[in-house]
Amino acid sequence: MASSPLCPLLLPLLLSSILLLNHPVKCDDENDSLLRGINSYRASLNLTALSKNDNAACLAGEIADQFKDRPCTNTTGSNTVPGTEPQFADYPKLLTKCHLNVSNTQDGVIMPACVPKLEPSLVLTNFTGSLYSGNLNDTKFTGAGIGSENDWIVVVLTTNTPAGSFVPFNAASVVSRIGLIFHLMFLLMGSIFLL
């Protein structure tokens, strides 16, 4: 029985589909560059880097969306006195949208900042040069998610405790199931193509 001449082609296909599984999307925008900036600030203080937390990023994006139409003033964002930030009535709704609830987010912190045109160097100093630095230099935070809309950028810090993990009980498996289905479809389409 002759072995299929297609076999040499299957290996690279398999490898590339494994690579796709591990790196579903690669995108680099303001929020990723802010995270890098925050992590080099932490490195300068000998603190571990914050890892990216996608659920926190989801919440950060939703909060930035609530703020997006407010103008920047000296009383918004990182210029606010802590505790005087506007509260949003639909906060629980935003949590639900991101598959979160108070029991897995209460140890986290939400830090909105307003910088015209999100000028990158100003954005970083609005976090490292304001009262927010007291959170950024805190060893209890291990992860971060960042979202932005218009002039607003929001950083949400997470911890590795259950009350600050931002890890939903079920959503994680939903995400990996979608990843797996995508992976299988890729393999299936690849083999149809080869036939």
Ligand X SMILES: *[C@@H]1O[C@H](CO)[C@@H](O)[C@H](O)[C@H]1NC(C)=O
- Asked if residue 82 binds ligand X (CB under 6 A), the reply is no
User: In sequence order, what are the beta bridge partners of 160?
Assistant: none
Size of the site for ligand X (CB under 6 A): 32
Q: How far, in Å, CA of 165 to CA of 116, rounded? A: 31
Listed ranges 8-16, 98-106, 158-166, 178-186: which one lies at the site for ligand X (CB under 6 A): 98-106
Listed ranges 13-21, 54-62, 82-90, 179-187: which one lies at the site for ligand X (CB under 6 A): 54-62
Task: Compare residues 32 and 107 and give the one whose CB is closer to ligand X.
Answer: 32
What 119-125 contacts at long range (C-beta under 8 Å, 24+ apart), as own/partner pairs, is: 120/30, 120/33, 120/34, 120/37, 123/30, 123/34, 123/37, 123/153, 124/34, 124/37, 124/38, 124/41
- Asked if residue 57 binds ligand X (CB under 6 A), the reply is yes
- Asked if residue 102 binds ligand X (CB under 6 A), the reply is yes
Task: Compare residues 22 and 74 and give the one whose CB is closer to ligand X.
Answer: 74
Listed ranges 9-17, 83-91, 132-140, 185-193: which one lies at the site for ligand X (CB under 6 A): 132-140
Identify the CA nearest to 60 among candidates 33, 22, 31. Answer: 31
